[in-house]
Structure formats: structure tokens, C-alpha cells
């Protein structure tokens, strides 16, 4: 399917009227948009958009969820959906790909209403816009002559695929409420009745980061899918593909670090990779002619683990090991504090980052449960104080205090 759609996407829009651009996708800048831009513009497109999954098959991870959703669609029994989970795990991408699968790229525009957090979604919108969209019957459901006309004869294969899928499945419209946890409470309340009233011809898909921020009444009307943080293997698949296609110069160890540090957030992985890639590319000289395809390839610096750590602003592991070693072995508290402070300055580390990294390292130290508990709860307290605005200097002192008093406990 993705082949068909790709074929269609790159076709020039008929009569200069870009028929595939519909509000949801134009704002997302997915590939169809990119394909219509000049080459330089596509080059400057953020990779998260350039590599946004086009079909459901392109979504990595979440096999169970995708299998279930596919079954719903195949049997034409799509319930109201709720997709929730941390950012960058593919919720928006999944639902946009699903919409394309159900209606075909050409029909998505008439059949899908996407409302994002950036749109006003107060009670008025729910009452007016959603209601109007949900209550109008779709005219193009069964056969899709308009769908093909709208595609402007864009590629026989693409339009064919669109109409085939559109005809079998598009008996309902889809309303996507992205980032629904930002909707006002009253708007959520107003949705309840609308969802029930128009179930015969509409399905809602609610996307949120936190399920608990949604009204329980909405939750009970939806089939819930939790998008867990992506596994490292899933992130690696796309990261490797991007490294390949963009010919990113990166050391294998740096790619490992990138995958680990992005902690299940694919968007973060791609953004960091792009930032590092950009900084490893030498700037063209002023007034130099634009690069031609047959120019020799640009020589880029190798991206190292250090570049990645710098870009994510995570303290490098050797700095953390050094800090931990100092804390555990220096009995003189004042000189311990001095060493830590100068390390912080020399390596440019922030206390909040040190604490996060340190808490991962410190659990590996073999000590009695009592000491470990004191350390961990002490770190948690400091983290809280730093997050609520306490000063670095004093809290660095507190850090030394917590670790050292644990060490004293051991010796006592």
C-alpha cells in the first residue's frame, strides 16, 4: 500500500491545486507535502516529519496494538479509539496512517476531521464544528468518483488503491482529537453525548498523553490502547534507516548511545540525530554556488558519543563515574565538595542531570539496604528541591552530605 501511495504522493497535483493537502496533513508536513516542495525545502524538512510513517506497516513497535486495530478495520468494526502514552511513540502517526488505510489518501480529506491542541477546542467547537462534521452524512462513501476526481487523475495506481479501500470500508467518518488531555472539561463533557448520538456514522479517535486527565465518561466510551515507550530495538530500526538514507557519519557506539538516551522517544532520537548531523556538516562558503548533484560529496565530521551526550545535555558516563568515585572515597567532606564543584565547572554539568545519572549508577554499588535507601531517598529529595528552584550550590552540598552520611553509616 505504501508503494501506491508513494507513487501518488510524488505526482504533481493537477492544475496546481494540491488535492492531497488536507488540513490535518498539511500542518503535519507529511511526505506528500514534502514531495511537492522544491528539493532544498525537502532537505530542510525536520526528519521527524520526513520519516513519519506513511502506512501502518511503517510504524515500528506496538505490534499487538497494530494487529488489533487492523482486525477492527478488516471486519469494519472500528470502535471509538483512545490512544495514550508518552510523546514520540507514534500515536499521531498511527492514526493518520490508519485514516489513510481506511479511506485511501484521496478521500481522507472529506472523511476525517482532525483537531489538534493548537486549534481552539473549547465547548463552542465541540458544539458546532464537531457536531456539524459528525451529523452530515458522507456522500462519497460507497463508490468514490469524487475521490478520484479530487485526486486529479494523480497516478492510476494510487487512485485505484484509494477507491478500492474507500469503497469497502468508509461507511463512517473519523474525528481525531489529538492531545485531548488539553481540552477543557466542559468540552469533554459535551463530547459524551455527541459520541453516542453519531456513532452510526462517526468514529472518534482520542489521543492523549495521560489517560487520567480525560473525563472517565469519555474513557468508558473508548477502546483504550496504551503506547508504551518504544523498545530500543524499535528505535534502532528507524535510526539505522535514517543514518543510511541521509548518509550520516556516526560511530556505532554513538548510535548505541543515541538509542539508549532517547528513552523510548523516537521523536527525540531523530531530532538529536539531525542536530548532530547538522553540526557535523561544514557550512558552505558565503556566495558559493548551490551544490550540484555531481559535486563531490560533502566531507562531514564523524559523530562521536561525546557529540550525542552534548546534544542531549546528558552528563557523559565517565564524568558520572568520576563524581561517584569521588563521593564514595573522599572522607573529607569539604575537599569532596570542592572536587565535585570543580568537576561540575570543568565538564559543564547541571546538578539536575547529575542526580538523574547518578541515581542510575548508584544502585549498582553494593551496600546494605539501609544505606541504599538513605541514598535513594536523599537523592529524591534533592531532585525535588532542585526542580522547585533551590540553588545549585547548596543542593550540591546536600548531595555530598547524603552520599557521605551513607558512607559513614557503613563504617559505623
User: Binding residues for Mg ion, per CB under 5 A?
Assistant: 92
Closest contact distance (angstroms) between CB of 89 and Mg ion is 9
Within its chain, how far is the Cα of 369 from the centroid? 38
Alpha-carbon dihedral 144, 150, 154, 158, rounded to 10 degrees: -30
> Contacts with ligand ADP: how many residues (CB under 6 A)?
20
302 alpha carbon, distance to own chain's centre = 26
Collect all residues with Cβ–Cβ distance below 8 Å to 316 and sequence separation of at least 6. 305, 306, 309, 347
Write out the binding residues for ligand ADP, residues 309-368 only, by CB under 6 A.
Answer: none
By CB under 6 A, name the one of 59, 97, 214, 261 that touches ligand ADP: 59
Binding residue (CB under 6 A) for ligand ADP from 5, 9, 20, 52: 52
Containing 142, the helix (H) or strand (E) segment is: none
Please pick, from the candidates 98, 111, 266, 349, the single residue that binds ligand ADP as defined by CB under 6 A. Answer: 266
**Contact flag: residue 148 with ligand ADP (CB under 6 A):** no
Query: Helices in 19-171 by DSSP H: which ranges?
Result: 23-28, 31-35, 39-44, 47-50, 63-74, 91-103, 108-111, 123-125, 131-135, 145-150, 156-169
Smallest separation, CB 178 to Mg ion (Å):
6
Does 236 participate in binding ligand ADP (rule CB under 6 A)?
Answer: no
Q: Which of 186, 188, 176, 181 is nearest to 213 (CA)?
A: 181
End-to-end CA separation in angstroms for the chain: 69
Asked whether 212 and 147 are in contact (CB, 8 A), the reply is no
Q: Which is nearer to Mg ion, 116 or 326 (CB)?
A: 116
Q: How far is the CB of 373 from Mg ion (least distance, A)?
A: 38
Q: Which does 101 bind (CB under 5 to 8 A by kind): Mg ion, ligand ADP, none?
A: none
- Sole binder of ligand ADP in the list 5, 25, 51, 214 (CB under 6 A): 51
Verify binding: residue 155, ligand ADP, rule CB under 6 A: no
- Say which entry of Mg ion, ligand ADP, none residue 90 contacts (CB below 5 to 8 A, set by partner kind): ligand ADP
110 binds, among ligand ADP, Mg ion, none (CB under 5 to 8 A by kind): none
270 near ligand ADP (CB under 6 A) = yes
Task: Please choose, from the candidates 325, 327, 321, the residue with its C-alpha nearest in 3D space to the C-alpha of residue 399.
Answer: 327
Q: Given the C-alpha cell 472517565, which residue does it identify?
A: 216
Rounded to a whole number of angstroms, the minimum distance from the CB of residue 9 to ligand ADP is 15
Q: Is there binding between residue 82 and ligand ADP (CB under 6 A)?
A: no
CB closest to ligand ADP, residue no: 90
Does 19 participate in binding ligand ADP (rule CB under 6 A)? Answer: no
**Of these partners, ligand ADP, Mg ion, none, which one is at the site of residue 238 (CB under 5 to 8 Å by kind)?**
ligand ADP
- The sign of the torsion formed by the CA atoms of 18, 22, 27, 28 equals negative
User: Does 90 help bind ligand ADP (rule: CB under 6 A)?
Assistant: yes
Would you say 172 or 227 has its CB closer to Mg ion? 227
Q: Please choose, out of 148-156, 214-222, 264-272, 344-352, the segment that lies near ligand ADP by the rule CB under 6 A.
A: 264-272
Spatial distance between the Cα atoms of 244 and 54, rounded to a whole number of angstroms: 19
In sequence order, which ranges of 262-368 are alpha helices (DSSP H)?
266-280, 305-312, 317-329, 333-347, 351-362
264 binds ligand ADP per the rule CB under 6 A: no
Binding map of ligand ADP across residues 237-256, x = CB under 6 A, - = no contact: -x------------------
Closest CA to 340 of 311, 320, 318, 359: 320
Q: By C-beta, is 91 or 221 nearer to ligand ADP?
A: 91
211 binds ligand ADP (CB under 6 A): no
Closer CB to ligand ADP, residue 28 or residue 173? 28
31 binds ligand ADP (CB under 6 A): no
Indicate the residue among 9 and 383 with the shorter CB distance to ligand ADP: 9
Question: Which strands, in side-by-side order, build the sheet including 173-177?
Answer: 112-115, 173-177, 202-208, 81-84, 223-226
Q: How many angstroms separate the CA atoms of 282 and 224, rounded?
A: 47
Residue 31: how many other CB atoms lie within 10 Å: 22
Alpha carbon distance 398, 379 (integer Å): 9
Interface contacts to ligand ADP, rule CB under 6 A: 48-49, 51-53, 59-61, 87-93, 230, 238, 266-267, 270
Amino acid at each position: 500500500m505504501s508503494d501506491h501511495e508513494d507513487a501518488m504522493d510524488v505526482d504533481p497535483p493537477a492544475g496546481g491545486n494540491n488535492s492531497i493537502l488536507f488540513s490535518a496533513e498539511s500542518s503535519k508536513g507529511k511526505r506528500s507535502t514534502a514531495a511537492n516542495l522544491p528539493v532544498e525545502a525537502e532537505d530542510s524538512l525536520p526528519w521527524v516529519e520526513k520519516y513519519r510513517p506513511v502506512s501502518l506497516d511503517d510504524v515500528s513497535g506496538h505490534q499487538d496494538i497494530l494487529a488489533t486495530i487492523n482486525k477492527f478495520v478488516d471486519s469494519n468494526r472500528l470502535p471509538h479509539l483512545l490512544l495514550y502514552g508518552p510523546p514520540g511513540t507514534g500515536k499521531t502517526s498511527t492514526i493518520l496512517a490508519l485514516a489513510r488505510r481506511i479511506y485511501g489518501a484521496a478521500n481522507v480529506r472529506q472523511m476525517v476531521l482532525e483537531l489538534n491542541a493548537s486549534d481552539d477546542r473549547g465547548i463552542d467547537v465541540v458544539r458546532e464544528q464537531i457536531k456539524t462534521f459528525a451529523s452530515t452524512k458522507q456522500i462519497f462513501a460507497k463508490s468514490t468518483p469524487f475521490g478520484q476526481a479530487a485526486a486529479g487523475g494523480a497516478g492510476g495506481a494510487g487512485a485505484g488503491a484509494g477507491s478500492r479501500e474507500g469503497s469497502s470500508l468508509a461507511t463512517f467518518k473519523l474525528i481525531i482529537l489529538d492531545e485531548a488531555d488539553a481540552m477543557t472539561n466542559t468540552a469533554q463533557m459535551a463530547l459524551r453525548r455527541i459520541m453516542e448520538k453519531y456513532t452510526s456514522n462517526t468514529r472518534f479517535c482520542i489521543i492523549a498523553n495521560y489517560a487520567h486527565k480525560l473525563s472517565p465518561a469519555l474513557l468508558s466510551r473508548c477502546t483504550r490502547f496504551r503506547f508504551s515507550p518504544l523498545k530500543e530495538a524499535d528505535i534502532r530500526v528507524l535510526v539505522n534507516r535514517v543514518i543510511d538514507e541521509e548518509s550520516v557519519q556516526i560511530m556505532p557506539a554513538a548510535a548505541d548511545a543515541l538509542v539508549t538516551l532517547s528513552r523510548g522517544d523516537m521523536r527525540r532520537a531523530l531530532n538529536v540525530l539531525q542536530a548532530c548531523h547538522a553540526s557535523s556538516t561544514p557550512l558552505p562558503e558565503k556566495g558559493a554556488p548551490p551544490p550540484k548533484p555531481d559535486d563531490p560529496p560533502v566531507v562531514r565530521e564523524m559523530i562521536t558519543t561525546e557529540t550525542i551526550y552534548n546534544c542531549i545535555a546528558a552528563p557523559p558516563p565517565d564524568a558520572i563515574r568520576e563524581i561517584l568515585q569521588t563521593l564514595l572515597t573522599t572522607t573529607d567532606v569539604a575537599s569532596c565538595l570542592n572536587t565535585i564543584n570543580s568537576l561540575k565547572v570543568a565538564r559543564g554539568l547541571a546538578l539536575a542531570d547529575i542526580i538523574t545519572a547518578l541515581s542510575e549508577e548508584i544502585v549498582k554499588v553494593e551496600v546494605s539496604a539501609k544505606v541504599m535507601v538513605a541514598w535513594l531517598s536523599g537523592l529524591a529529595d534533592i531532585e525535588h528541591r532542585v526542580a522547585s528552584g533551590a540553588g545549585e550550590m547548596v543542593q550540591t552540598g546536600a548531595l555530598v552530605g547524603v552520599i557521605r552520611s551513607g558512607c559513614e553509616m557503613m563504617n559505623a
